[in-house]
Amino acid sequence: MEKRNIGSLVVSPIGLGCMSMSHGYGPSDEPTSIQLLNEALDVGYDFLDTATMYGGGKNEELIAKAVKHRRSEYVLASKCALFSKDGKPTIDGRPETIRLQCEASLKRLETDVIDLYYLHRLDPNVPIEESVGALADLVKEGKIREIGLSEVSSDTLRRANSVHRIAAVQSEYSLWTRLPELKMLDVCEELGTTFVPFSPLGRQFLTGKAQEASRLTDGDIRTSNARPRFESDAFARNSELLKPLEEVARELNCSLAQLALAWIVNQPNHQGLKTLVPIPGTKHIDYMRENAGAIGVTMSPELLAHLSSLMHDDLVIGERYSEGQMKVMDSERDRH
């Protein structure tokens, strides 16, 4: 795979989101996940994304168990401030919490340094300058290399970047979730911050393989906080939007997943450079290999524009998260 930059880091243009191997999408099995992680490195993925929150640290432990012996072959990203407390998601961006969580992640990951460390969510009770100041101290101490933010607004990014260079912003972005186009992509380009789209396949919807919420297993986030677009009526109506995309995929001789990923990978900024680094997550080896094939899908400016017109927020039924989740997302401030 070609390479792209995240601050001082150099990564493949498609990374691997590791969450679903331990969290968010129902059961998975460790032997398959270990095989998947090793085969992903063999295929050419060299950017692995995890977090304190995923499986209560189990996902970080899984990565260490699977590929710590290949640590020089991948760029490692993890996240702090969002975790589960008494079974409920909790955000704590205080400097002392960030330090404790980083130390714990380093132990679970069995590594001396985390290449890219994100503030997973903005703590509304802690100024972003304080949280980033704590992350900057960890950079000085050599415990992390680069600082990232997740699901923040463009204003928060500017404030954070005034304290320390922010190498990456991670937020949801795909054909059916276009919020970053309002402000964030432009601000990232202005500041030299790499944008890292998560859920670039719309939580499997854009692959054509997803099911409505009522058919999913307990523990799947599409039955809870990410439910609105997977409710029966919304899912049926949204599925109609896939039909013209399927025609394009047939013409290009690629899968729907590869089409959706290629749309992101080939998005140019105002200078004509392709800088986005999506991190599709999966716990299936076949899907991991399929996603890597998106690199070979050629996209002209005309095709990119055509795909953008076939599916976007104004056509999609349902918000990306439940009402309660949307209210606490700092990124949603960019709507206003």
Q: Comparing 48-57, 83-92, 138-147, which segment has the lowest mean pLDDT?
A: 83-92
Over the chain, what is the mean pLDDT? 96
pLDDT, one tens digit per residue, over 217-264 is 888 899 988 999 999 999 999 999 999 999 999 999 999 999 999 999
Whichever domain contains 271, its CATH number is 3.20.20.100
- Tell whether the torsion through CA atoms of 281, 283, 286 and 288 is positive or negative: positive
Mean pLDDT of 136-146: 98
Query: If pLDDT is split at 50, 70 and 90, which confidence band does 336 have?
Result: confident
Closest residue by Cα to residue 78 from 136, 18, 140: 18
Active site residue 54: yes
In this prediction, residue 236 carries a pLDDT of: 96
SS3 of 260, please?
Answer: helix
Domain containing 172 equals: 4-335
Q: State yes or no: pLDDT of 22 exceeds 90.
A: yes
What is each CA distance from 206 to 238, 243, 265, in whole angstroms?
Answer: 10, 11, 15
Domain count for the chain, please give it: 1
Q: Comparing 22-26, 68-72, 119-123, 187-191, which segment has the lowest mean pLDDT?
A: 22-26
Q: State yes or no: pLDDT of 275 exceeds 80.
A: yes
Share of the chain above pLDDT 70, in %: 100
Please, what is the Cα angle at 253 between 249 and 255, to 5 degrees?
Answer: 55
pLDDT, one tens digit per residue, over 76-121 is 999 999 998 888 889 999 999 999 999 999 999 999 999 999 999 9
Mean pLDDT of 140-150: 98
In this prediction, residue 26 carries a pLDDT of: 85
In this prediction, residue 48 carries a pLDDT of: 98
Q: Which of 54, 74, 173, 321 is catalytic?
A: 54
In this prediction, residue 324 carries a pLDDT of: 85
Q: Is the whole model's pTM more than 0.75, yes or no? A: yes
d(C-alpha 59, C-alpha 71), whole Å: 16
* Gyration radius of the chain's alpha carbons: 19
